[in-house]
């Protein structure tokens, strides 16, 4: 089960990151591609930190103190990513999506904070499956599911830019409407 939740979590984070990348294109001076690059960097840093934490957890003997440390560090990675996403200045085309993505990410951070409190209350810790089987864990997974669904919406924004290729040579089309961004956000299901 530990592999299952990690795969799902990575998909969720990929979706969240992409949402924030697209959202960065709303109103700011960044192009959709530039926002994607900046948001992707924030997301990649967070994902790498969490992957390292997962590897460290798997390499140690499970203890409640170890679980507390894991969740403290995981939440730090999430909060720092949230600040990075908030700092992005999205273009108008995705400004609303950016706001929705931020709201979902804030909910995920709050749900994982609740889960961290629950894990800290355990008398013994066996595996991450024990964490996710709690009411708090299920609530966090529900938010991840919402993020997966939102990621699909965000992916459609990128996919729609590919259809612009047929008009990209027309001189009278504004530059921001000619931008083509081909990316697979890796959204969960």
Our count of domains for the chain comes to 1
Domain presence at residue 42: yes
Task: Write the DSSP string, the chain.
Answer: -HHHHHHHHHHHHHHHHHHHHHHTTSBSS--HHHHHHHHHHHHHHHHHHHHHHHHHHHHS---HHHHHHHHHHHHHHHHHHHHHHHH---BGGGHHHHHHHHHHHHHHHHHHHHHHHHHHT-S----HHHHHTSHHHHHHHHHHHHHHHHHHHHHHHHHHHHGGGGGTT-TTS-GGGT-----------
Instruction: Quote the pLDDT of residue 2.
Output: 43
| Tens digits of pLDDT across the chain (189 residues) | 344 444 444 444 444 444 444 443 334 578 877 887 888 899 899 999 999 999 999 999 988 899 999 999 999 999 999 999 999 998 887 888 889 999 999 999 999 999 999 998 998 877 888 999 999 999 999 999 999 888 888 777 767 766 655 445 545 444 554 444 555 556 665
Domain presence at residue 184: no
Domain presence at residue 83: yes
Q: Structural domain of residue 64, as residue ranges?
A: 2-177
């Amino acid at each position: 089960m530990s592999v299952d939740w990690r795969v799902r979590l990575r998909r969720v984070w990929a979706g969240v990151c992409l949402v924030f990348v697209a959202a960065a294109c709303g109103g700011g001076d960044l192009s959709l591609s530039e926002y994607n690059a900046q948001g992707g960097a924030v997301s990649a840093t967070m994902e790498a930190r969490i992957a390292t934490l997962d590897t460290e957890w798997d390499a140690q003997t499970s203890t409640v103190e170890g679980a507390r440390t894991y969740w403290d560090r995981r939440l730090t990675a999430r909060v720092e990513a949230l600040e990075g996403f908030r700092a992005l200045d999205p273009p108008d085309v995705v400004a609303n999506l950016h706001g929705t993505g931020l709201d979902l990410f804030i909910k995920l951070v709050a749900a994982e904070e609740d889960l961290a409190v629950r894990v800290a209350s355990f008398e013994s810790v066996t595996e991450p499956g024990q964490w996710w089987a709690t009411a708090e864990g299920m609530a966090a997974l529900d938010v991840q599911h919402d993020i997966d669904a939102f990621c699909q919406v965000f992916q459609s924004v990128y996919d729609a830019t590919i259809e612009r290729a047929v008009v990209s040579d027309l001189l009278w089309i504004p530059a921001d409407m000619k931008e083509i961004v081909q990316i697979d956000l890796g959204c969960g299901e």
